[in-house]
Amino acid sequence: MVPRLTELVDFARKSRIPMIWTQSDHSPPYGGIMLKKFSVIANQRILWPGDVSFNFYANMPQPHESELEHIIVKHKYDAFFETPLDAVLRFHKVDTVIISGTATNACCESTARSAFMRDYNVIFLSDLTGRRSGRCLCSRSGARSSSMRAPSGESRRSCWAHCRTRPCMRRPCEMSHYFLDVS
């Protein structure tokens, strides 16, 4: 997944497309019920500031905070919940969020549903979402609905190039901005 993520990040940076990176902080008091439901998070301090699990993965592209790259710390699966994410997206006039991340069945899906409820178009990148087992769940976790689809068949690069020059009638290509949920 990292080589494909690198390609996406490089493309977004060269094209001056806004990117939002999320970081999960499940430490008290923010972890709430997750600390009870998943005792390993509490006992091993997983996704707590100061623990290595809180950092972005070392082998992946790293965020460069700037006018077009933002880091948002989230405390629940949904990156919109009690964060400035919606304000940042609206500031950049984003109408479509593209989800990438490693917790498709939890964080990515929760964020995608919340984005849809806020009237954003939502796209999963089928080769840039996954879960711990490494199996992509895009086609199972809501991607079947007409508002949330995972690109398939057409290469990412040709899809990106196509969408930058003209409107596309194929839903997976209707993208103008990228949202990276690196959970």
Tell me if 178 is assigned to some domain. Answer: no
Answer whether 178's CB lies under 8 Å from 12's CB: yes
Q: Which tens digits make up the pLDDT trace of 108-157? A: 999 999 999 999 999 888 788 776 543 333 333 333 222 333 344 443 44
Q: Which tens digits make up the pLDDT trace of 1-30? A: 889 999 999 999 999 999 999 999 999 999
Tell me if 182 is assigned to some domain. Answer: no
**What is the domain extent for residue 123?**
2-173
Number of domains composing the chain: 1
Tell me if 179 is assigned to some domain. Answer: no
> How far are the Cα atoms of 36, 43, 129, 148 from residue 125, in angstroms, in the given order?
32, 33, 6, 10
Tell me if 22 is assigned to some domain. Answer: yes
Tell me if 181 is assigned to some domain. Answer: no
Give the pLDDT of residue 171: 31
Answer whether 167's CB lies under 8 Å from 145's CB: no
Tell me if 151 is assigned to some domain. Answer: yes
d(CA 68, CA 117): 24
d(CA 183, CA 179): 12
Amino acid occupying residue 167: P
- Say which DSSP state 58 is in: T
> For the whole prediction, is pTM greater than 0.75?
no
> How far are the Cα atoms of 43, 53, 75, 114, 177 from residue 31, in angstroms, in the given order?
12, 15, 6, 19, 30
Tell me if 109 is assigned to some domain. Answer: yes
| Nearest Cα residue to 123 out of 149, 89, 95, 141 | 149
Using pLDDT thresholds of 50, 70 and 90, give the confidence band for residue 183. Answer: very low
The strand pair at 19-24 and 69-74 is best described as parallel
Q: CATH no. for residue 18?
A: 3.40.50.850
d(CA 138, CA 124): 7
DSSP structure string for 60-74 = SPPP--SSSEEEEEE
